[in-house]
Amino acid sequence: MATISFWGGVGTVTGSKYLVQTSRARVLVDCGMFQGLKELRERNWQDPPFNPRELNAILITHAHIDHSGFLPRLVNHGFHGPIFCSRGTADLLKILLPDAGRLQEEDADYRNRHKLTKHSPALPLYTEKDALATLELVEPVSNMGEQFQAAPGVLASFRIAGHILGSSLVLLELERAGKDGNNRRVLFSGDLGHYDQPIIRDPVAPPRADYLLVESTYGDRLHDPEEPKVALARIINDARKREAPVLIPAFAVGRTQEIVYLIRELEDEGTIPVLPVSVDSPMAALATVAYANRKEEQDEEYASVLAKQQHPLRTHSMITASSRQESKKLNDAKGARIIISASGMMTGGRVLHHALRMVSDPEATIVFVGYQAAGTLGRRILDGEPRVKILGQWLPVTCRVTKIGGFSAHADWKEVLRWLEGMEGAPVRTFLTHGELQASTAMAEHIKERFGWNVSVPQYGETVDLE
Ligand SMILES: [Zn+2]
């Protein structure tokens, strides 16, 4: 017998956690933190719906916090088995998890100082120390596509999913789990990449599976048809004419590397002049090294740039500010220049110091290249609020504000169908995960219409037999 239980990443894009149980083993695929709405975030504080001590192993599709950020909490609650993931994911977990631990500690500290808590004292969800203990359990899998024993009676393999560095499809093969005594294969898409995105390879075709979990973030939407590169060139050329600065708030892992790659490409093609580009985020600098090191995940274009002895992730005039002093020096520079800094939604980090200088400068441009959640400073500026509070100061927003909609690390619904077309045979059942209810339902309809498969949208806490 075998079952799967959906403990996150259903009806929402956050908190991904799928528990697979057989008579011999329990494994968890993804261990994400819930983010966004309060009722979702509160789930992070509830006792886990399974005993972490009884899990044989955890497998992680990729390093984004909504897929990995709950690991330190489970380790703190007694999980001590192996955490399997690709090598790229292991590299990024080393950067992201300790940072998540520090943020949790800072958050608890803030709530205590401002008496925003019913609990005294407020405790962090987990600490940096928990995150470091988690990293000790990580076992990177070096051969993509090759099966290994993840737990008794559970074979697993990873394949490139093309979403961010290290992102993988996870295939589990459950030995003799079917009623007929045959093996059962369960495939998890994780987050599926957007085809032809820079730097990393496209998702590989899905292997044959009896059960399929497929993401549906963009189940009801298609990407903006304007190439982000074209929009970026227009904005940079415009800033050049006005001798004015451009600030790009960007997530340190993935988006920052993508922007730098595109700017370098535009410079190579002569579409934009070479301007000073500063990447002001210590985390981004570390992530760039990880992206450059993992050759097995780079696409052909990346390899061909590298063959010309150029660094694909460095523009022709680039400074990476790693110390606070260097970061301050950037602030005093003049003329047309591009600053890329985290956090992407301007909720903290060095981007705030740059925003403080630029938000009231009518010549400066702030360019949003990612989703801005409700309530964040990024969203307020994008929504056109006339005044915003940055680092304790109220400032009028008089700079230019623009958005490039075409950046996405996710496949849209047509791309999901394109990916599924590569699958050999129909799965017995397909589950739509990782989407708002509306998006998952729409994606289910698209799949039913195109392939006639048995599809469903599972609910939080639902358990399904895999027999
Ligand atoms: Zn992701």
How far, in Å, is the centroid of ligand 1 from the Cα of 417? 19
**pLDDT tops 90 at residue 55:** yes
- Give the per-residue pLDDT at 120: 73
207 C-alpha to ligand 1 centroid (Å) = 21
Residue 324 has pLDDT above 90, yes or no: no
Q: What is the mean pLDDT of the chain?
A: 93
At residue 132 the predicted structure's pLDDT band, cuts being 50, 70 and 90, is very high
Asked whether residue 292 carries a pLDDT value surpassing 80, the answer given is: yes
User: Which pTM was predicted?
Assistant: 0.92
Mean pLDDT computed over 297-321: 88
- From the CA of 68, how far away is ligand 1's center (Å)? 10
The values of phi and psi at residue 379, to 5°, are: -65, -40
Instruction: Give the Å distance between the CA of 191 and the centre of ligand 1.
Output: 5
What is the full DSSP assignment across 317-375?
Answer: TEEE--SHHHHHHHHH--SSEEEEES-TTSSSSTHHHHHHHHTT-TT-EEEE-S---TT
Closest to 343 measured CA to CA, from 61, 91, 96: 96
The reported pLDDT for the residue numbered 107 is 84
**Does position 115 have pLDDT exceeding 80, yes or no?**
no
- What is the distance in A from the centroid of ligand 1 to the CA of 136? 23
The tens digit of pLDDT for each residue in 416-454 reads: 999 999 999 999 999 999 999 999 999 999 999 999 999
> What is the per-residue pLDDT across 181-216, written as a single tens digit (0 to 9) for each?
899 999 999 999 999 999 999 999 999 999 999 999
In the reported structure, the alpha carbon of residue 165 is separated from the centroid of ligand 1 by a whole-number distance in angstroms of: 10
Residue 405 pLDDT grade (very low, low, confident, very high; cuts 50, 70, 90): confident
d(CA 336, CA 358): 13
What's the pLDDT band for 296 if we cut at 50, 70, 90? confident
Distance 181 CA to ligand 1 centre (A): 35
Ligand 1 center–CA 250 separation, angstroms: 15
For residue 29, the model assigns a pLDDT of: 98
pLDDT above 90 for 154: yes
Are 202 and 196 a contacting pair, CB within 8 Å?
Answer: yes
Going from the C-alpha of 68 to that of each of 32, 296, 301, 330, 380, the distances in angstroms are: 4, 22, 29, 33, 28
Contact between 13 and 217 under an 8 Å Cβ cutoff? The reply is: yes
Which of 365, 369, 378, 312 is CA-nearest to residue 337?
365
Check pLDDT > 80 for residue 73.
yes
pLDDT for residue 358 is more than 90: yes
Chain centroid offset of residue 406 CA: 16
**Looking at this protein, which amino acid is placed at residue 59?**
L
> Each residue of 29-47: pLDDT tens digit?
999 999 878 889 899 999 9
Percent of the chain whose pLDDT exceeds 70:
100
Confidence of residue 121 (pLDDT cuts 50, 70, 90): confident
CA of 333 to the centre of ligand 1 (A): 35
Highest mean pLDDT among 73-77, 196-200, 351-355: 73-77
Helix 351-358 vs helix 324-332: angle between axes, to the nearest 10 degrees?
A: 20
pLDDT at 159: 97
Cα 163 to middle of ligand 1, angstroms: 7
Q: pLDDT tens digits, residue range 217-226?
A: 999 999 888 8
Distance CA 77, CA 73 (A): 6
Strands 148-151 and 154-160 turn out to be antiparallel
**Cα 216 to Cα 12: distance, rounded to the nearest angstrom:** 10
Q: Please say if the pLDDT value at position 178 is more than 90.
A: no
Q: What pLDDT is attached to residue 329?
A: 75
CB 14 within 8 A of CB 34: yes
Dist. CA 436 → ligand 1 center (Å): 15
Whole-number Å distance, alpha carbon 221 to ligand 1 midpoint, is: 17
> Residue 322 pLDDT more than 80?
no
Task: Kindly give the distance from the C-alpha atom of residue 396 to the centroid of ligand 1, in angstroms, as a whole number.
Answer: 34
**Ligand 1 center to 216 CA (angstroms):** 12
Spacing, Cα 64 to ligand 1 middle (Å): 5
Span from the CA of 334 to the centroid of ligand 1 (angstroms)? 36
The predicted structure's pLDDT at residue 116: 73
Average of pLDDT values for 230-251? Answer: 96
Q: Tell me the C-alpha to C-alpha distance, in Å, between residue 248 and each of 393, 401, 412.
A: 21, 10, 24
Kindly give the distance from the C-alpha atom of residue 63 to the centroid of ligand 1, in angstroms, as a whole number: 7
Tell me the CA–centroid distance for residue 158 and ligand 1, in Å: 16
CA of 437 to the centre of ligand 1 (A): 18
The pLDDT of 12-36, averaged and rounded, is: 95
Q: Report how far ligand 1's centroid is from the alpha carbon of 386 (Å).
A: 33
CA of 164 from ligand 1 middle (Å) equals 7
What average pLDDT does this structure show over 400-428?
Answer: 94
pLDDT at 334: 85
Q: Rounded to an integer, what distance in angstroms lies between the CA atom of residue 98 and that of residue 8?
A: 22
Residue 375 pLDDT level (bands cut at 50, 70, 90)? confident
What contacts 239, CB < 8 A, 6 or more positions away? 245, 246, 275, 336, 338, 365
pLDDT at residue 72 is higher than 90? yes
In percent, how much of the chain has pLDDT > 90? 79
Going from the C-alpha of 438 to that of each of 10, 58, 117, 216, 410, the distances in angstroms are 11, 29, 34, 10, 17
Segment of 104-113, 261-270, 370-379, 401-410 carrying the highest mean pLDDT = 261-270
Residues 6 or more apart in contact with residue 201 via CB below 8 angstroms: 160, 162, 297, 298, 299
Lowest mean pLDDT, pick from 176-180, 264-268, 463-467: 176-180
Average pLDDT over residues 400-407: 92
